[in-house]
Structures are given as C-alpha cells and as structure tokens.
Structure 1
C-alpha cells in the first residue's frame, strides 16, 4: 500500500492510497489509533470512491462510531483507467434505454456486472488484506460492508466470498442471478428497498432478500424512487454497525 495524500477535516483523517493498480481512500478519526472496526463502502454504478453516497455514510461512521472506513474505485471509474469491455457494455445499455427498453431487460446488464465483479471482488480482498496491516485499523476487529445499487450487487458477491465480513447493509438490487449467491450469506444483513424503484422491481428485490441465508435480516422498505433513500436510513445503518461491529470507547447504540 502506498499513501499518496493525507488531509484532515473536521476531526477526520483522509488518506488516498494505491495498492498496485487499485486506487482507494481510507477515513479514520484524526485523533487516536487502532485497532478499530472497519467498514468497506461500495459505490453505485458510474460513481467513484468519493461519490456523495460514499462520503455521506463514511463521515458519520468515523465521527459517531470511531470506525475506519474505506472505498475503492470500481473498474473504469474514478482514478481507474478506461475499461474497454465495461465501456462497450455501458454503451449498449444506454442504447437500450434510448429505445425505451429497461436497462436490465437484455443480457448486457448481467454481463456488465459479471465483468466488473471479476476484477472488483479480488481487488476488495486485496485491499482488505492491506488495510488490516495498518496500525490505524489492525486485524483484530470486525469488518462490515455497505453497498446499495451496483454497490449492493458487488456486495452480495463479496460478502458471500469473504468470511472476514461479519455484518452488511445491502439493497436497491433485484438481480435474480444472485439468488444462489445470496443463499450463502449467513451474517446479519440490513436490506433496503425503494418501493417505486424504476430499475429494480420490488418483487425481484424481495425475492433476493428472501434468498439471504441470514438468521438475522431486516428489510427496510420506503416509498420513492431509486435515488430517494431517506436520510434516516444512514442513522439506521450507524445503529446496525455499532450493534454488530462494536466501536472504540465501548460505544453502544440501540
């Protein structure tokens, strides 16, 4: 791991890093040291490691719970180079949408997710290996994952494959090709559904939730479209992770 920059804002240390070709960011409390619980955040499709949906979750996890939080760019986004196959599939999906067809109706959408996952899941595991060697994180505390939309698609795959992750917030995804993968997940899960999500029919999202093998899983369903997740769901995720990951200073949140 190579730290490429370090800044401090409002009690948060932000470190940009690279691990080989993987660009990422780590946020930790400006004061104090590890070990501490770690939350990995996966961004949505077309976004990047410092997108609003990442930062809006990461900062409260650091300031409220004392967690370390990390995010990396998916292939073809952020500081990654262009990915020819991702670019080709995205162009085809955009053509479908322009013709009035749902983006998820053809073979291009699952192919895109398979292409991204083939690189991103191993990259997440490599990143986790490196982060847990840092004094500010350590390898003795639990790890969580947060991801919605394509971050949820990748999260289901990662959580099923990575035993070091012990709690996850997932959702806004109804990919039925993930049913068997979801069944392998047994950790606590908080799962989000937007009732009027134009890209993820509620029946498909609930079917994926039902497939989760977790003994402890909670479905949070809210009215509104894909990008209208209520801000109070951030507070709920803070309570969820504090309950399942613990926190420095013996913080307990009910």
Structure 2
C-alpha cells in the first residue's frame, strides 16, 4: 500500500492510496485514537470512491462510531480507464434507456462483469489495510454498498471469511447474483427503495429471501434509490456498530 496524499479536518484523517494500480481513500480517526473497526464501502455503477453519499457515510462512520472506512474505484470507474468491453456494455444500457426498454438485464450483466474483477482487488486492499497499526487484523470487518457495490459486496462476503457483517442497498438482480446470495451467511441488512421504476420489487424480495444468513433484516422505504435519506445512512451505520464494535480500545500513535 502506497499513500499518495494526507489531509486532516474535524477529527478525520483522510489518506489517498494505491494498492497495485487500484486507487482508494481511507478515512480514519486522527492518530492517538483507539484501534478502530474497519468498514469497506462499495460505490454504485457509474460512480467512484468519492461519490457524495459514500463520503457522507464514511465521515459519519468515523466521527460517530470511530470506524476506519475505505473505498476504492471499481474497474472502469473513477480514476480508472474503461475497457472496450465495459464501454460496449454501458452503451447498451444507454440505448435501452433511450428506447424506454428495460435496462435491468443489461445493468445486471455489466455489474457482474465489473464485480468479478473488483473482488480480487478488494481482497488485496483488505490485506494491505490489515497491516496498518490502527487496524486490528483479527477484528471483524464490515462491507456496505449500493448497486454495483452490492454485487461486489455479496461476492466478496460469500468468499472472504474476514467480512463479518454486510449492509446492502438497491441492486439489479439476475440468476448469478441469486446464486451468490445463497452463499452469504453473515448478518445482513438489506435496504430497498420501494418506488424506483427501474428496480423490480419482486426481485429484491427474492434476493433477500435467498440470502442464507440466520440474522438478516429487510428495510423498505418510499422513494427512489437516490438520494438516500440521512437517517437511512445513520441507521445503517448503527447496524455495523452492533456487529463490529467488539475489541475496541487499543491506542495507536
């Protein structure tokens, strides 16, 4: 892990980094605080590691719950160049939207493709993060995401035992994601916007039902996917605080 910049404001230390060629941001309490739980945040498709809602969640998580929060740019997003195949898939989504045709099959296919490449990058990033003195490598790790971040997070959670709790939002569902959901066994909180015309309520409920966790909760709210209300963000972070709060107390400097 190579840190490329560092700033500090209002008790939050923000550092940009590279793991191999993957750019990311790390938000943490300023040095002198206790060793903190780690929360990973995955951005939506078409967004990036500094998406406004993601940053707001990260800052709230640091200042209210003492988390250390990390985000990275998914393949073809943010500071990373899109491949030719990615461009073609995005163009297919745009054509379907212009033609007023369902976009869900195109989006689901694209997000699965990106997520398959993003999961090994998240594993490498987590390896690097757990070497930092302010992070307890033995402590549970949380993952939260929306849309593309959900697909990536489900795949990561299903395959990496370090993820101990997961919070998911809206997502386009296909059979491949349903198969992944059946492998997720950690505590899950799933939040669904009830009035987004691009999203299939039935598919959202089926995905929740497929999650194999013995502890899972479904939260539906009125409105579209974006923007998420501030209280939803706060509620989601309280979920992570319940599951990641143990073992805090060691001071680093």
**TM range, normalised to the smaller chain?**
over 0.9
Moved more, 223-232 or 30-39: 30-39
Residues of 1 paired with 2:33 and 2:249: CA distance? Answer: 12
Q: How does 1:4-23 map to 2 (within 5 A)?
A: 4-23=4-23
1:185 aligned counterpart, secondary structure: coil
Structure 2 runs not aligned, ≥5 long: none
Structure 1 runs not aligned, ≥5 long: none
Contact 2:3 2:15 in 1 (8 A): yes
Contact 1:199 1:226 in 2 (8 A): no
Number of residue pairs matched by the alignment: 248
Which residue number in structure 2 is paired with residue 91 of structure 1? 91
Which contiguous aligned blocks of 4+ residues in structure 1 show a shift greater than 6 angstroms? none
Residues of 2 paired with 1:180 and 1:81: CA distance? Answer: 29
Which residue number in structure 2 is paired with residue 112 of structure 1? 110
Residues of 1 paired with 2:39 and 2:11: CA distance? Answer: 18
1:36 aligned counterpart, secondary structure: coil
**Higher relative contact order (Cα pairs below 8 Å, separated by 6+ residues):** 2
Question: How far off is 1:157 after superposition?
Answer: 1.2
Residues of 2 paired with 1:220 and 1:156: CA distance? Answer: 17
Superposition CA RMSD, Å? 1.5
Residues of 2 paired with 1:200 and 1:232: CA distance? Answer: 22
Contact 1:174 1:207 in 2 (8 A): no
2:190 aligned counterpart, secondary structure: strand
Which residue number in structure 2 is paired with residue 41 of structure 1? 41
Which residue number in structure 2 is paired with residue 197 of structure 1? 196
Which residue number in structure 2 is paired with residue 27 of structure 1? 27
The normalised TM-score by structure 2 is 0.93
Question: How far off is 1:109 after superposition?
Answer: 2.8
Which residue number in structure 2 is paired with residue 52 of structure 1? 52
Question: How far off is 1:33 after superposition?
Answer: 4.8
Q: How does 1:211-250 map to 2 (within 5 A)?
A: 211-246=210-245, 248-249=248-249
Residues of 2 paired with 1:209 and 1:128: CA distance? Answer: 26
2:104 aligned counterpart, secondary structure: coil
Contact 1:12 1:28 in 2 (8 A): yes
Moved more, 28-37 or 65-74: 28-37
Question: How far off is 1:80 after superposition?
Answer: 1.1
Alignment of 1:154 with 2:170, yes or no, is no
Residues of 2 paired with 1:158 and 1:211: CA distance? Answer: 16
Contact 1:22 1:123 in 2 (8 A): yes
Residues of 2 paired with 1:110 and 1:189: CA distance? Answer: 21
Residues of 2 paired with 1:137 and 1:80: CA distance? Answer: 27
Which residue number in structure 1 is paired with residue 62 of structure 2? 62
Question: How far off is 1:169 after superposition?
Answer: 0.5
